[in-house]
Amino acid sequence: MVSVLDRKLIRDLRRLWAQVLAIAAVLACGVMVLVLGEGLQSSLAQSRDTYYERQRFADVFATLTRAPRTLLPELAEIEGVASLTARVEAAALIGLPEMDEPVSARVLSLPASGEPALNLPLLVTGRLPSALHPDEVALYAPFAEAHELMPGAQIEAVIRGTRRSLLVTGHVLSPEFVYTIGPGQMMPDDRRYGVIWMGEEALAGAADMQGAFNALMVGLTRGANAQAVIDALDDRLARFGGAGAHDRDGQISHAFLASEIDQLGTMALVLPPIFLAVSAFLVNMVLSRLIALERQQIGLLKAVGYTTAAITAHYLKLSLGIGLIGTLIGWGAGARLSLGMTRMYAEFFRLPVLIYNPSSWPFALSAALAALTVLAGAWRAVGASVRLSPAIAMLPPAPPSFRRGLVDGLGTALRLRQTTMMILRGITRWPGRAAITLFGVSASVSVLIASFFLSDAMALMTDEVFYQANRQNVTLTLSQAQTDRALLDAVHLPGVLVAEGSFSLPVRLVVGPREELTSITAFSEGATLSRLIDDEGRAVALPDAGLVLPEGLADKLGLRTGDRLRVEALAPPRETWELPLAATIRQTIGQEAYMARPALFALMRQVPQVNRIDLLVDAPALPALYAEAKRRPEIAGLTAWDAVREQFEATIGENVLISVIVYTTLGVLITVGVVYNAARIRLSERAHELASLRVLGFHRSEVGMVLIGETAALTLAAIPLGWIAGYGFAALMTQAFTTDLVALPLVIERATYATASLIALAAALVSTLAVRRRLDRIDIVQALKARD
C-alpha cells in the first residue's frame, strides 16, 4: 500500500515535471559521458586485444638493411623470445588508370609454405598468393575496395626499379594496419597508399634479398622483459644495419589506436564532474524553494505524528527520484551511443572483430555518483527546515530584513527605474542562487569554448603544416641516399620550378634511463619549401651546432636548452655522439629532431646527401611529372601535398563536426537546466511583487523585464567567468589529446569566445521566455492573497 508521503512524492514529481526534467537532463549528461567513455574504451580495447590475439600480433619489431636467414636460430635463443617471423619488405609505386599520380605501397613477403608465425594476415575475400605463381599478390582490403580491385584484377607496380605486372588473388586485413598511414601522409588515405602481400621468393628476387630478410617481428614469452629483448636484438642486428628495435608503442598503427583509447578514458574522467556539480546545485536550489513553500505542510505533518526522519526521507526520496530519472536517461543514451560509436571506431580502425561487452561498473559507478550528487544537493536544503518544531514551522517565515545598502545608494545616485532596482535587489537578496546561476552558465560557456577550440586548433595545424612549414606541392622519397646532383636532375623533371633536398638519419636519443627512437632531419641551406617555423609563422634558422627538438619530445626526455644528450646513429656511420640541445620548437605533427646540414655531415664525415626532394611544380605539369616518376627506379615514393591536405581536412572536419555537435548539446543543456529552474523559482517567489506592479499600472513588458533582466544580468556576468574556465578546460583537453605523434596547439580565436557566448545567451533567453509565458497566466488576485 502506498503511504501518504509517497503519494505526495508522486504528486510533487508530476507538478514539478518541467524542473525535474531540466535537472535530470543535466545529470543525464554526466552519466551518459561516463557510460559512453568507459564503455567505448572497454569495447575498443577488447576488440583490439581479441584481434591481436587471433592474428598473433607481434610484441617487438625491428627493421634492418639486410641479414642472412641463418641468423634466425641465434635470435630465437634470446631470453624472452617465444616466436619470431622474418620477412622481406620493399617500397613500391603502383600505376592505376584512374589516377594521375603514382600510388605508394608497402610490399610484404609471405612464407613460401605455411603461414607467418606472427602478424597473420586475415583473408577477407579470395585467396592468398601461391608460391608457384610469383606475380600473384593479395591487397590490403580497404585499398582494394577504394580502387575496386577485385580478385582477378591486374595492377602495374615498380618494385626496386623493376616494373611488374601483378595479379590480385585476394583481399586481407592485418593487425599491423588498423591505422594505415603512408610516408608523408597525415591521415589514412586508402586511395593513395596500400599494402601488398607477395610470395617470399618473388619479393626476395625483386628486392635482391634471396636468403635474407630486412624486417623482424618477435613474440615474447609471458613475463619477459621487453627492453632486455630489444637491447639484445639491437646488439645482434647492429652489424646488419639494424635501425633500432621497438615494442608496440613504437609501431605507428598501434600507437594511434592506443592513443585514441586513452583519450576516451580522459573524456570520461574530465567531463562528468562538471555536470554532476551543476546538478547538485540545481537540486539544492529547487528543494530549498519547495521546502520553503511547504513549510506549513511540514508543520502539520509533524503535528499529526510524522517524525523528522520520515519527512527527511520523503524529501531525500524526491531528490533520488530526480537522480533515478537522470540516471536512466543517461544509461540509455550512453549505452546506445557507446554501441554506435564502437561500430564507427571499429570501421575506421579496420577492426574485423567487434566486441561490445561494456563492463557493469561504469553503470554502477554512474548510478552511485548520481545518487550522491542529488543527496548532497538536497541535504542542506532539507536539514535546516525539517528540524523546526511544528509550532514554528506552521508560522510564516520571518520576512527578510531590509536596509539600504550599496545597491540602493547606487540606484538613487543613478536614478534607476524601480524595475531595474528590483532586478538588482533580487540578485543581492539571494546571493546563493545567483552564484549557482553564475556557476552553471559559466560552466556551459566553458564547455562550448572547449568544443569550438578544437576547430581553432585544427585550423592552426592545417595552416602551419600545409601553408607555412610545407610549401611544396610534391615530395619525392628516394630509394637510397644520393649526392646533391640528384637536385639538378630533379629540376629537369616536367614542370619543376624549385627543388630542395633534405636528409633524414634514424637515431636513438638517450638521456639517462630515457630513450626515444626518432630521426634527425637536415634541410638544404636556405630552404624555402620545407622549413621550421615559430609561433608567429616565421622561418626558424637552425643553429650552427647542436640539436633542435620539438617541445613535446624535449619534455619527454626531460631536457632543457643547453642540456647534453647521447645520440646513437642507427645507420652508417653508426656512431654515438654527445650533442647539446640548442633550441626547442613547437611542432604540431611529428617528433623529428633537426640539425644544420653542415653540422650533421661533419659528424658523419660524409659528403652531403639527400634522401628526400621537395618540389614546387607548375600545376598544369603535374600529370607529366607523375608519369615520369612512375618510370624512375630511384623514386621509391611520391607525396602529392594537395591530396594530403584534402584528406586531412576532410577527416578532421568530420571528427570536429561530431565533437562540436556533442559538446554544444551538452553546453546548451547546462544553460537550460540552470536558467529554467532559476527563473521558475524567481517567478514563484516574486509572484506577489510582480502582481503588485501590474496593479500599480506597469505594462506586461515592464513586469516581464524584471524576470528576464535578472537572468540577463547574471548570464552576462557569467560569460567572462566562462571564458576563463573555458581556456582552462581547453588547456586540459590539449594535454589529454596530445600524443607522441600529434601535439594539439592551445589556440582560441575571438570568434570562438563570441560564438560560445551567443549560444549561451540564446539558450538562457529561450529558457527565460518559456517561464515568462507563465507570468502572463498568473491570477493577480490569487497572487496578491498569497503569503510569501
616 DSSP β-pair partners: 498
What is the pLDDT confidence band of residue 702, given thresholds at 50, 70 and 90? low
Mean pLDDT value across the chain: 83
What are the tens digits of pLDDT across the range 464-484? 888 888 899 999 988 888 998
Residue 97 C-alpha cell reads as: 588508370
- For the cut 90, the answer to whether the pLDDT of residue 565 exceeds it is yes
| Lowest mean per-residue pLDDT among 277-281, 554-558, 781-785 | 781-785
pLDDT score of 674:
78
pLDDT score of 523:
87
| Lowest mean per-residue pLDDT among 159-173, 218-232, 381-395, 452-466 | 381-395
- For the cut 90, the answer to whether the pLDDT of residue 723 exceeds it is yes
Q: Determine the distance from the C-alpha atom of residue 334 to the mean position of all C-alpha atoms in its chain, rounded to a whole number.
A: 18
**Does the CA dihedral 263-269-270-272 come out positive or negative?**
positive
Bond from prior residue into 573 cis (ω within 30 degrees of 0): yes
Other beta carbons within 10 Å of 317: 14
**What is the bridge-based pairing of β-strands 89-95 and 122-126?**
unpaired
Residue 221 C-alpha cell reads as: 614469452
CA count, 13 A, side-chain hemisphere, 174: 22
User: Who's near 299: CB < 8 A, 6+ residues apart?
Assistant: 388, 390, 391, 392, 393, 394, 395
Report the pLDDT averaged over residues 286-291: 71
Give the separation between CA 500 and CA 488, rounded to whole angstroms.
10
pLDDT score of 409:
59
Rounded to 10 deg, the angle between the 750-776 and 641-685 helix axes is 30
Q: Pick the most confident of 295-299, 312-316, 701-705.
A: 312-316
Report the pLDDT averaged over residues 140-149: 93
Q: Is residue 402 classed as helix, strand or coil in its secondary structure?
A: coil
Phi (first) and psi of residue 528, to 5 degrees: -115, -15
Residue 519 C-alpha cell reads as: 630521426
- In the block, residue with C-alpha cell 530584513: 401
pLDDT score of 635:
83
- For the cut 80, the answer to whether the pLDDT of residue 551 exceeds it is yes
Q: Which secondary-structure segment (H or E) carries 731? A: helix 700-737
SS3 per residue for 54-114: HCCCCCEEEEEEEEEHHHHHHHHCCCCEEEEEEECEEEEEEECCCCCCCEEEEEEEECCCC
Q: Pick the most confident of 174-178, 644-648, 706-710.
A: 174-178
- Domain 496-617 architecture: Beta Barrel (2.40)
Give the separation between CA 599 and CA 615, rounded to whole angstroms.
24
Give the separation between CA 249 and CA 259, rounded to whole angstroms.
10
What are the tens digits of pLDDT across the range 661-685? 877 887 888 888 777 777 777 666 6
SS3 content of the chain, % helix, strand, coil (to 5): 55, 20, 25
Residue boundaries of the structural domains of the chain = 1-57+253-394, 58-252, 405-471+643-788, 496-617
pLDDT score of 417:
62
**What is the bridge-based pairing of β-strands 514-523 and 564-569?**
unpaired
**Selected residue with higher pLDDT from 699 and 565:** 565
pLDDT score of 297:
75
Report the pLDDT averaged over residues 4-8: 79
**What is the bridge-based pairing of β-strands 136-140 and 162-173?**
parallel
Rounded to two decimals, what is the model's pTM?
0.79
Give the separation between CA 674 and CA 438, rounded to whole angstroms.
9
pLDDT score of 788:
44
pLDDT score of 127:
94
Residue 29 C-alpha cell reads as: 549528461
| 25 within 8 A of 672, measured Cβ to Cβ | yes
What are the tens digits of pLDDT across the range 21-46? 878 888 888 888 888 888 888 888 89
What are the tens digits of pLDDT across the range 97-120? 888 888 889 999 999 888 899 999
| Lowest mean per-residue pLDDT among 220-234, 239-253, 686-700 | 686-700
Q: Is residue 545 classed as helix, strand or coil in its secondary structure?
A: coil
| 468 within 8 A of 537, measured Cβ to Cβ | yes
Among 333, 738, 352, 769, residue whose Cα is nearest residue 551 = 738
Give the separation between CA 764 and CA 445, rounded to whole angstroms.
11
Residue 717 C-alpha cell reads as: 556576468
Among 619, 621, 597, 620, residue whose Cα is nearest residue 609 = 597
| 195 within 8 A of 103, measured Cβ to Cβ | no
Q: How far apart are the first and last CA of the chain?
A: 35
Give the separation between CA 638 and CA 520, rounded to whole angstroms.
21
Q: Is residue 405 classed as helix, strand or coil in its secondary structure?
A: coil
- Please give the share of the chain, as a percent, with pLDDT higher than 90: 31
Q: What's the maximum distance between 2 C-alpha atoms anywhere in the chain?
A: 103
| 315 within 8 A of 378, measured Cβ to Cβ | yes
Bond from prior residue into 102 cis (ω within 30 degrees of 0): no
- For the cut 90, the answer to whether the pLDDT of residue 75 exceeds it is yes
What is the pLDDT confidence band of residue 11, given thresholds at 50, 70 and 90? confident
**Does the CA dihedral 195-201-203-204 come out positive or negative?**
positive
Q: Determine the distance from the C-alpha atom of residue 192 to the mean position of all C-alpha atoms in its chain, rounded to a whole number.
A: 25
